[in-house]
Structure 1
Amino acid sequence: MSPDVIDKAERAYRTIGELSRETGLAQHILRYWETRFPQLRPLQRAGNRRYYRPEDVALVRRIAALLDQDGYTIRGVQQALAGKPGAAPTMPDRDTNSAIRRVRASLAAALSEDARA
């Protein structure tokens, strides 16, 4: 957490701006996730001002971890959160990731050689 973020009680509600600063996620990403994940429903007050409950904050962190750290797709996270039995989350294969990295490296090398020529 950055030093300019005011510490709030763990059980306090957070505005979209506060949650955005805490998680490093852009506000438009949080609003988009509300359209994709029915479990994420912050309270909305006058003027559509969003207030995220502690449960919402935990869910946002879980979604972010599944997408960024575990490599899930949006659809895979939807399935994981829905708890559909037998529905395997859509997660890239580690071999596929390795192959993609090798292709990127060879393309970068080829572009570098072309730039020198």
Structure 2
Amino acid sequence: MAGVPDKAAGAFRTIGELSRDTGLRQHILRYWETRFPQLRPLQRAGKRRYYRPEDVALVMRINSLLNVEGYTIPGVQKMLSEERKSPPAGSTGPVDLSGIRAVRDGLSRALAEDSARG
């Protein structure tokens, strides 16, 4: 609609708005909801869909993988399910706190010695 300002980045989008913004037809978006369990927009009374910003980002990613990079639906499903299982980027697992505690104890001793002198 002409003259209607775009919504804020964090605003929810209806299926019509998402369809307009992405160029994807509404039936494609509904189909993707059946194929990708990660894509679950909120549904209010009357089954009206409201896509959260993270849903919009996922739709954009799925669209890019399927229509730009040439992945198949099973390929994208596998990729997304593997990402859910893997730890977040930069995470190396459990943190060993012994080194941090040693530094803390050393600083505590140094502060105690310094306050005893002065």
TM class, shorter-length:
0.5 to 0.7
Cα drift, residue 80 of structure 1: 0.6
Unaligned runs of 5+ in 2: 87-118
CA contact (8 A) 1:5 1:22 kept: no
The residue aligned with 2:19 is 20
Q: Give the root-mean-square deviation of aligned CA atoms.
A: 1.9
Structure 1 length-normalised TM:
0.67
Instruction: Tell me the distance in 2 between the aligned counterparts of 1:63 and 1:4.
Output: 30
CA contact (8 A) 1:5 1:21 kept: no
Cα drift, residue 6 of structure 1: 3.7
Larger radius of gyration: 2
Instruction: Tell me the distance in 1 between the aligned counterparts of 2:16 and 2:5.
Output: 12
Instruction: Tell me the distance in 2 between the aligned counterparts of 1:26 and 1:5.
Output: 21
Answering whether residue 33 of structure 2 is matched by residue 34 of structure 1, we say yes
Residue 4 to residue 37, structure 1, CA distance change in 2 (3 Å) = farther
Instruction: Tell me the distance in 2 between the aligned counterparts of 1:39 and 1:28.
Output: 17
The residue aligned with 1:62 is 61
Q: What's the secondary structure of 2:43's corresponding residue?
A: strand
Encode CA deviations 1:35-57: one digit per residue, 9 max, x unaligned: 00000000000000000000000
The residue aligned with 1:9 is 8
Cα drift, residue 26 of structure 1: 0.2
Structure 2 length-normalised TM:
0.67
The residue aligned with 1:75 is 74
Unaligned runs of 5+ in 1: 86-117
CA contact (8 A) 1:67 1:74 kept: yes
Equivalenced residues, count: 84
